[in-house]
Amino acid sequence: MRLNEKAIIRKSILELCNTGLPRKKSTDDVIRTIREKSGSEKEGNLWEYVVALGAQLSRPPFDPYREKIKLTTKIGRKGDQKVSLKMPILIYGEFDLSQSSKDALVLALNDLDDNRTTVGLISKDEPCDERKYPHFQILSDINKLADPDGIVLEYIGVKTEEKIEKIRKEFDGPILVEVDEYFAYYTAKLLELGADGILVNTDNIAKSEKYKGKHAIAIIHDAKLAINEFYRGKENDGACLVVAGDVNNAGKMVKAAGLGADVIGYDTSLLIAKVGHHSENFFDEEITAQKIFNHMIATKSELTGIPAALGYSDFHNLSPSDFRTSSIKASMQGNIPLEGVDKTYRNIVEEILDEYIDTKNISIDQQQKQKIICLVMEEEN
Amino acid sequence: MCGICGLMMDDSSLRYSPVGSILQDMMESQQIRAQDGAGIAIFDKNNAGDSFKIKNFRKEGMSNYSIDEVESSSENVPENLEKLSQDSECHFFSFENEMTILKETGLARDLDRKFGIRKMNGSHGIGHLRIATSSRVTPYNTHPFSTTIVPDIAIVHNGEITNYNMLRDSLELEGFTFHTDSDSEVIAVFLASKILKHGDIERAHREFVAKADGPFTYIAATADSIAIVRDKFGTRKGIIGYNPGDSDHPPFWAMATDLSALDVVGATTKIETPHPGKPRIFYRN
């Protein structure tokens, strides 16, 4: 930390001591602004601009030492075909691992299951016989279906829809579909056919033309909307949103869950396995497994802190209203309320438009109004 | 720190059970807990009929409200509800058949002075004293809350439904309408949606406890039942007692936030605390 940043923090603390009043602006924001001006802040990382609202007078925190925060997650829409995770994490990533790294991973995942911290694995490989954890097989060829607990299909158009119909007849477990940037157009169809959820890789989708210049939070928000659209007018039976890609630490996981992610596709453990293999002269499976294990246990306790401070007893109850952002861009992309006004940017645009319509006495229907709001939001973005 | 209370007469066939008077005593004894608003819902079989009342708060000036009442037959209920929902000057108040809801900002004794609560009879009822924590002090944010989904359902609530936004979003997605920004309203809408789906009130309460998060105790009344429900950790208070009756009062079950409310109406036998997460339901005989 630089000297001028230390001075800002000191000044801020002195202010609190002198006035006894809460800060009007977070100290982080002041530092962030300075960093932005100096060009040292990485531009466009909207995760940094999203903060948890914290405990309030009317919403006392659950004591995390007394009340356990539930992290258990079920994947699957039908009662008899659900996969249960003790942590909302599926280890998933695009790393090519050596056999010894894979063995270390299996060792770690089995140990985690023994310690009531079951997480799942998404892999192209066939499930290992000694596994205690749920294995989701990435299935490119329907004839290579082994004996997984769940299946992941990559969306490649109508063929995927046909595959789901076919697999659903012989496989009872959950089917997830890894979607491309056009998920909004076909998610409802996939769920209709019996898929149990979608997997969005924010890194891959953010590279597409459609999401050019947009952040992972926009992709998560839109993916949740696509699932919600399927449930319009009916009761939600639990279709799952798995978010992978740019969600690689506990802070981002909590924020992603608030935006609608049910499960995180997490590649950090794979990274540890890979790095363990390359950075040490002597690769020890047990030491690497222990590192992965420790990392997941620490992540587990990190995940419970914010939900507890927000008065929740279940991790999955986080919603966008639990967060605030100082960035208009983040508010627009993730529909997150802005700090200070407690309204989303969309709400503000709606209010201004309503006022204009009233003052000018304009006759306009709901559809036209929504079209104008979308145009304004699109342009601003 | 709101105060809630409720009672169910043991014998609902009695034509003039003094539900209003008992509720008023229970509310006044808990007044120290909250002073921003007071309200009651009383159920009286003698009011039941073929028509329904849709009540609304109509805004008059900056901060005054009057109560609009529209009498509807079962056929034109949807049409009248739709009309009122489009009136921006109106705030939904209640949807009643045999139930009567009365609520106002201020103290319990002011509510009685204005509406004569002590003179009201019925088989059961609930009451609420409000301290505003998350929404403004207005008559329409005062409890009890009812819904436009089914008539004769009312809830009073102490605490916080922390995952209110999530529950509200999913209920709105299913097509159910909300009329206030209060987290308490989600209890009424959730229960009504389940009554519509399977008609089993006990199951509806159990489903709510499974889905709701945060520290809360609520009392919910329908035409045939009254239930007190605490969150699964039991972080908010709730107590039940029985008054075996005497020459002044027929016997009744009473429930409240504070023991003082049971004490003041003599409901001091069979004292119990509802088990966290398990609805305690009393049905009308």
Residue of chain A with shortest Cα separation from B132: A58
Is the Cβ–Cβ distance between B186 and B157 less than 8 Å?
no
Give the one of A59, A233, A313 whose C-beta lies nearest to B175's C-beta: A233
Question: For residues A104 and B284, what is the distance between their CA atoms, to the nearest angstrom?
Answer: 63
Tell whether the model's pLDDT for residue A81 goes beyond 50: yes
Q: Which residues of B touch A224 (CB under 8 A)?
A: none
Question: For residues A152 and A154, what is the distance between their CA atoms, to the nearest angstrom?
Answer: 7
Most confident of A51-60, B48-57, B117-126, B132-141: B117-126
A369-381 pLDDT, tens digit per residue, is 889 988 888 765 5
Average pLDDT value for residue range A149-164 = 94
Tell whether the model's pLDDT for residue B127 goes beyond 90: yes
Q: What is the CATH number of the domain that holds B231?
A: 3.60.20.10
What pLDDT is recorded for position A277? 62
What is the value of pTM for the model shown? 0.84
B84 within domain boundaries: no
What pLDDT is recorded for position A93? 83
pLDDT band at A1; cut points 50, 70, 90: low
Tell me what ipTM this predicted complex has.
Answer: 0.81
Cα-to-chain-centroid distance, residue A201 = 10
Tell whether the model's pLDDT for residue A9 goes beyond 70: no
Q: Which residues of A touch B133 (CB under 8 A)?
A: 57-58
Instruction: Name the region of A219 (left: φ>0; alpha: ψ -120 to 50; beta: rest).
Output: alpha
What's the domain range around B157?
Answer: 3-43+99-283
Tell whether the model's pLDDT for residue B177 goes beyond 70: yes
Q: Does B36 touch chain A (CB under 8 A)?
A: no
Please give the share of chain A, as a percent, with pLDDT higher than 90: 46
Put simply, the chain B residues between 126 and 155 with a CB less than 8 A from any chain A CB are 133-134
pLDDT band at B220; cut points 50, 70, 90: very high
What pLDDT is recorded for position A29? 67
B83 within domain boundaries: no
Average pLDDT value for residue range A328-351 = 90
Mutate to test the interface with B, among A58, A221, A323 (most CBs of B within 10 A): A58
How many other C-beta atoms can be found within 10 angstroms of the C-beta atom of residue B82?
Answer: 10
Tell whether the model's pLDDT for residue A159 goes beyond 60: yes
Cα-to-chain-centroid distance, residue A92 = 13
Is the Cβ–Cβ distance between A59 and B161 less than 8 Å?
no
Q: Give the burial class of B129: count Cβ atoms within 10 A of its Cβ; 0-12 exposed, 13-18 middle, 19 or more buried.
A: buried
Question: For residues A112 and A115, what is the distance between their CA atoms, to the nearest angstrom?
Answer: 5
What pLDDT is recorded for position B260? 93
B134 within domain boundaries: yes
pLDDT band at A33; cut points 50, 70, 90: confident
Of B157, B134, B160, B183, the C-alpha closest to B238 is B157
Per the prediction, chain B carries an average pLDDT of 90
> Is B213 close to A235, i.e. CB distance below 8 A?
no
Those residues whose C-beta lies under 8 Å from the C-beta of residue B275, and which sit 6 or more positions away, are: B230, B234
Question: For residues A48 and A42, what is the distance between their CA atoms, to the nearest angstrom?
Answer: 10
B57 within domain boundaries: no
Tell whether the model's pLDDT for residue B59 goes beyond 80: no
Q: Which residues of A touch B214 (CB under 8 A)?
A: 59, 311-313
B73 within domain boundaries: no
pLDDT band at A331; cut points 50, 70, 90: very high
Counted residue by residue, chain A has a size of 381
- Residues of chain A that touch chain B, judged by Cβ-Cβ distance less than 8 Å: 57-60, 62, 67, 228, 231-236, 310-314, 317, 319-322
Question: For residues B39 and B112, what is the distance between their CA atoms, to the nearest angstrom?
Answer: 10
Tell whether the model's pLDDT for residue A284 goes beyond 60: yes
Q: Dump strand ranges (E) for B183-238.
A: 216-222, 225-230
Q: Does B160 touch chain A (CB under 8 A)?
A: yes
Average pLDDT value for residue range A84-102 = 88
Which DSSP helix (H) or strand (E) runs through B28?
Answer: helix B19-29
pLDDT band at A121; cut points 50, 70, 90: very high
DSSP-derived 3-state class of residue B159: strand
Tell whether the model's pLDDT for residue B61 goes beyond 50: yes
Tell whether the model's pLDDT for residue B199 goes beyond 50: yes
Give the one of A62, A235, A311 whose C-beta lies nearest to B174's C-beta: A235
> Is B162 close to A231, i.e. CB distance below 8 A?
no
Average pLDDT value for residue range A311-332 = 90
> Is A312 close to B173, i.e. CB distance below 8 A?
no
Q: Which residues of B touch A228 (CB under 8 A)?
A: 169, 173
Q: Which residues of A touch B160 (CB under 8 A)?
A: 58-60, 311
Put simply, the chain B residues between 167 and 196 with a CB less than 8 A from any chain A CB are 169-170, 173-175
**Helices B108-115 and B19-29: angle between axes, nearest 10 degrees:** 150
Smallest CA–CA distance, residue A183 to chain B, in Å, is: 20
Most confident of A46-50, A58-62, B122-126: B122-126
What pLDDT is recorded for position A219? 96
DSSP-derived 3-state class of residue B234: coil
DSSP-derived 3-state class of residue B87: coil
Question: For residues B237 and B54, what is the distance between their CA atoms, to the nearest angstrom?
Answer: 33
The Cα angle at residue A340 between residues B139 and B179, in degrees rounded to 5:
30
What pLDDT is recorded for position A61? 62
Average pLDDT value for residue range B31-43 = 92
**HEC letters along B64-132:** EEEEEEEEEECCCHHHHHHHHHCCCCEEEEEEECCEEEEEEECCHHHHHHHHCHHHCCCCEEEEEEECC
Lowest mean pLDDT across A37-46, A174-183, A352-361, B79-88? A37-46
Give the one of A236, A313, A322 whose C-beta lies nearest to B233's C-beta: A313
Give the one of A58, A228, A232 whose C-beta lies nearest to B134's C-beta: A58
Mutate to test the interface with B, among A319, A324, A358, A365 (most CBs of B within 10 A): A319
What pLDDT is recorded for position A64? 47
Number of domains in chain B: 1
Is the Cβ–Cβ distance between A116 and A86 less than 8 Å?
yes
pLDDT band at A273; cut points 50, 70, 90: confident
A-B Cβ pairs (cutoff 8 Å, strict) = 57
The Cα angle at residue A285 between residues A281 and A290, in degrees rounded to 5:
110
Please give the share of chain B, as a percent, with pLDDT higher than 70: 99
Tell whether the model's pLDDT for residue B146 goes beyond 80: yes
Task: Give the tokens for residue B66.
Answer: 């009057």
Tell whether the model's pLDDT for residue A25 goes beyond 80: no
Please give the share of chain B, as a percent, with pLDDT higher than 90: 63
Residue of chain A with shortest Cα separation from B213: A312
Question: For residues A267 and A249, what is the distance between their CA atoms, to the nearest angstrom?
Answer: 10
B276 within domain boundaries: yes
Average pLDDT value for residue range B18-29 = 94
What pLDDT is recorded for position A13? 59
A199-247 pLDDT, tens digit per residue, is 999 999 999 999 988 899 999 999 999 999 999 999 889 999 999 998 8
Give the one of A233, A234, A317 whose C-beta lies nearest to B213's C-beta: A317
B9 within domain boundaries: yes
What pLDDT is recorded for position A85? 96
Query: Which residues make beta-bridge pairs with A213?
Result: none
> Is A313 close to B213, i.e. CB distance below 8 A?
yes
B111 within domain boundaries: yes
Q: Which residues of A touch B173 (CB under 8 A)?
A: 228, 231-233, 236
Question: For residues A72 and A84, what is the distance between their CA atoms, to the nearest angstrom?
Answer: 7
Please give the share of chain A, as a percent, with pLDDT higher than 70: 85
Smallest CA–CA distance, residue A204 to chain B, in Å, is: 28
Residue of chain A with shortest Cα separation from B234: A67
Most confident of A139-148, A232-241, A286-295: A232-241
> Is A311 close to B215, i.e. CB distance below 8 A?
yes
